[in-house]
Amino acid sequence: MKILLPVLTGLALLAAAPAHAIVGGGVPSAEGVGRSVVTIVGSRGNFCTGALIAPKLVLTAAHCVPPGAAYKIVEYGADRQPRLQDVRNVAIHPGFSTQAMTAHRATADVALLRLDIPLKGKTASVVGAPQIPILVGSRFTIAGIGVTVRGDGKSGGTNRVAGLIATGKPGTLQIRLVDPVGQGKRDGLGACTGDSGGPAFEDKQGGPVIVGVVSWSTGPNGTAGCGGMTGVTPLTLYRDWILQTARQWGAAL
């Protein structure tokens, strides 16, 4: 199992992702669910994915924003040049354990970022929780800005989406997703480095709803890497904390 630790890169690399590249077949998309996807960069040179859930509120993974660094959102203007948007506050779920994450155990891998000003050209997505019980074969859509080639930071920075299905024993602590064709046994759709913190959507009445956060990935058959299995932290146990933190920051969801 591979925790999707952020890739070391720079803004120039983020801007240089080839338009034709596709992560495991994931489709580039700045529309639909992709309209809420944002890029998070840290002062240590890392980058992750987040999702706008209110004009000045971003949902991401807790392991993407550890203490001791400053974080910003990358915003692209009409000229497609990246600009940095300040992050005012970072809140990590109190139940998150770095030790549990490192040991590949389920934990509250959820965090919120409060921005100084609203993001332009983005649309907030609705936050919910997956339908219970979560059944094997249930369909989800993940989105992220991760790399298209493992270890190549230049291939990241483009919003991409992929449709996956639940496998194993999905529950309130963790959902394991695989490509419906490859079934985690062969290279296929899935999250890769830099997709950490990306939203997992489930179709509900009224449209797609964020029901989880991307936390880790494996290669085929549980090997290290990408293209096999994608681990998602469902929001079932954490949605109340998200709503409460948003209210404390004066954001209505």
- pTM of the predicted model as reported, rounded to 2 decimal places: 0.88
Q: Look up the CATH number of domain 139-234.
A: 2.40.10.10
Give the span between the Cα atoms of 240 and 64, in whole angstroms: 21
Q: Do domains 2-11+35-124+238-248 and 139-234 have the same CATH topology?
A: yes
pLDDT in tens, 144-188: 988 766 665 666 677 889 999 999 999 999 999 999 988 877 878
Q: Which two tokens stand for residue 241?
A: 């904390």
Q: Look up the CATH number of domain 2-11+35-124+238-248.
A: 2.40.10.10
Q: For the chain, give every domain's residue range.
A: 2-11+35-124+238-248, 139-234
pLDDT in tens, 73-96: 998 765 667 889 999 999 999 999
Give the span between the Cα atoms of 167 and 184, in whole angstroms: 9
Q: Contact at 8 Å (CB) between 56 and 113? A: no
Handedness of CA 208, 214, 220, 225 (dihedral sign): positive
Q: Contact at 8 Å (CB) between 142 and 213? A: no
Residue 89, classed as helix, strand or coil, is strand
Q: Which two tokens stand for residue 97?
A: 């354990």
